[in-house]
């Protein structure tokens, strides 16, 4: 489970289909993957119902924790970037606040369509 006091996944880059095989058994009828991101060991999958955070554990990373974070529990989110959000030339941080759980922070590498991620979240939260 994500440590919500210090919950952070760093330096995520776009990685389509990286977790399809692992996440597919968790998906419910009508749920589809919209975006997939991966860091060196961890990853994040956005679906049309929730965010699934994948935390690789142990020395080999074969043990994995899958945390399901439903959009229905999101209270707020914020984006912080060192540059212009339209330029995509700077790393971006996305903080999401979950009711009853706390905050999770995702740090994306430059070039990620953060506006698209925010639009996905807004579509299913608002």
Enumerate domains of the chain plus CATH numbers: 8-125 (2.30.29.50)
Q: What's the CA gap between 126 and 122, in Å, rounded? A: 5
Give residue 7's pLDDT band: very low, low, confident or very high (50, 70, 90). Answer: low
Query: Percent of the chain beyond pLDDT 70?
Result: 83
Q: Which of 62-66, 80-84, 95-99, 108-112 has the highest mean pLDDT?
A: 95-99
pLDDT at 111: 83
Task: Give the list of residues 6+ apart from residue 117 with CB closer than 8 angstroms, or none.
Answer: 35, 46, 94, 108
- The model carries a pTM of 0.85
Residues 117 and 34: their CA atoms lie apart, in Å, by: 9
pLDDT at 50 over 90: yes
Three-state DSSP state, 22 = helix
Bridge partner list, 14? 37
């Amino acid at each position: 489970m994500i440590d919500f006091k210090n919950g952070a996944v760093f330096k995520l880059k776009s990685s389509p289909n990286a977790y399809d095989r692992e996440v597919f058994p968790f998906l419910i009828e009508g749920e589809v993957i919209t975006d997939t991101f991966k860091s060196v060991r961890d990853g994040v999958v956005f679906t049309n119902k929730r965010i699934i955070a994948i935390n690789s554990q142990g020395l080999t990373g074969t043990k994995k924790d899958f945390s399901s974070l439903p959009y229905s529990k999101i209270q707020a989110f914020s984006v912080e970037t060192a540059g212009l959000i339209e330029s995509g030339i700077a790393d971006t941080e996305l903080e999401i606040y979950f009711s009853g759980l706390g905050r999770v922070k995702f740090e994306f590498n430059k070039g990620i369509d953060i506006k698209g991620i925010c639009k996905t979240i807004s579509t299913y939260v608002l």
